Amino acid sequence: MLGKYLENVRAKSPLIHNITNYVTVNDCANILLACGASPIMSDDCGEVEEITSICGGLNINIGTLNKDTIPAMLLAGKKANELGHPVILDPVGAGASKLRTETARRLLDEVRFTVIRGNISEIKTLAVGTGSTKGVDADVADAVTVETLDSVVAFAKEFSKKTGAVIAITGATDIVAGAEKAFVITNGHPMMARITGSGCMLTAMTAAYITANPENILEATAAAVCAMGVCGEKAYDTTVDKRAGNSSFRNYLIDKVCRLDSEDLDKGARYRIV
């Protein structure tokens, strides 16, 4: 059961350092507070190593890159590695531009990641060095379907073996894979794709889950993915009742994460292990 990993987040309230994109930075901070963790945002080279040192985990998100944040990501990542802190990478839009692709690859080469979370197109780009995305969304040609599920799971396990990281491929069906075992998760709602930041929020929340559960990285990552999906379902149910739209859905999503307990997570999580 996955609820115990949420309980550990709430009990330990880990402090998470986020170098994330400015489009979703506020949502990432709020989702961390909602799940029981604490956020700090810092991307200046003059302080990122110091900030990383006082935090329990590090979230690196390449959604908005510039000449200052790239070296800051490398400095913080290497400091986290030195301290033995968990580090998660969200390679937003890898494959959409040369800068994003090269930055994601460089981070992968120079920093040891605990978890890598992205859509299927982003993860494929990291694995093979090239790829295509639809802006920051997955290319429709890469969609995980019933026919492709087994091959995607095998690909994720192999990439996990190569990188040493848990690989979380999220979409309509989510795959959370270690080298030998994977969770296939079917929680969530299509409305989650209608707001900016659901993926970024999930990455931030996953950072909290793995920091609070360092001995169970694969299971903690699966718990975070299930938790976000369960809360997406609950948020949609609320918007239907209120006749609300996607802006309200985002707020309800954060509310549902705040109110989620271990019993709700265990009852609502839909997954199988392969």
Tokens, residue 145: 């379907």
Residue 180 sits in a domain of what CATH number?
A: 3.40.1190.20
pTM of the model: 0.94
Residues in a beta bridge with 88: 59, 115
Kind and range of the H or E run holding 155: helix 149-163
Residue in 168, 187, 184, 170 with CA at minimum distance from that of residue 266: 187
Give residues with Cβ within 8 angstroms of 25, minimum separation 6.
18, 41
Residue for token pair 């998760």? 185
- pLDDT per residue of the chain (274 residues) written in tens, 0 to 9: 899 999 999 999 999 999 999 999 999 999 999 999 999 999 999 999 999 999 999 999 999 999 999 999 999 999 999 999 999 999 999 999 999 999 999 999 999 999 999 999 999 999 987 555 544 444 445 677 778 899 999 999 999 999 999 999 999 999 999 999 999 999 999 999 999 999 999 999 999 999 999 999 999 999 999 999 999 999 999 887 667 889 999 999 999 999 999 999 999 999 999 9
3-class secondary structure, 231: helix
Q: Confirm if 63 and 52 have CB atoms less than 8 A apart.
A: no
The count of structural domains within the chain is 1
Give the CA angle between residues 236, 241, 242 to the nearest 5°: 95
3-class secondary structure, 115: strand
Residues in a beta bridge with 234: none
Residues in a beta bridge with 18: 41, 59
Q: Confirm if 41 and 72 have CB atoms less than 8 A apart.
A: no
Residue for token pair 């949420």? 6
Residues in a beta bridge with 273: 183
Residue in 265, 73, 59 with CA at minimum distance from that of residue 168: 59
What is the residue range of 168's domain? 3-273
